[in-house]
Amino acid sequence: MSKGIIGNKVSELRGVINEYSIAIRDYVMSKNWEKIRSCMDTLGDTDLAINTYFDISDNLIKDLSNKHFKDDNYGFEYGIKYLLLYGVLQSMFIQQDAFLGIYYEIITPEEEFSEFKKNFFDKYPILKKIRDIRNKAIGHPTNKKDSNKKDSDKKMNISIS
């Protein structure tokens, strides 16, 4: 499988850091290099996971069901669908955190990061929506607070067909 857009951009960033001027390398190395490298690895890994999710067809899920659990295809098929959905939502969430981690370490002074993060999600509301869906559906959904509802009423039900 080839890299997605994010995977390609991470490769470009690695190229800039590893192969270009000493000044750029020294600047990045003066930051938290281990965190930056970990975030770049995470961006690449989550890019692969998300692209794989969108490449998987229903036929693959049904094929797995038929080969492995002939007596309980319904449960296995839906279990695989939930696993894939939860996995892609978590991958998107982690990918956003990795991007923010790189931005924090390389670009934004600590005192400005909270404002940057708020503005980032205001500028890209679809990313905020992904985070909200992930949090309500699978990210400790019973811990969500809402003055009008009990915590246990806040879980988003997901139906997969």
Domain ranges of the chain: 5-153
Contacts 24+ apart (CB under 8 A), 147-151: none
Q: Which token pair is 40? A: 């770049």
Which helix (H) or strand (E) covers residue 59, if one does?
helix 58-68
Give the Cα separation of 15 and 129 in Å (integer). 32
Q: What is the CB neighbour count within 10 angstroms for residue 112?
A: 12
pLDDT exceeding 70 applies to what percent of the chain?
A: 65
Residues 88-146: tens digit of each pLDDT: 999 999 999 999 998 888 777 777 888 888 888 999 999 999 999 898 888 766 655 65
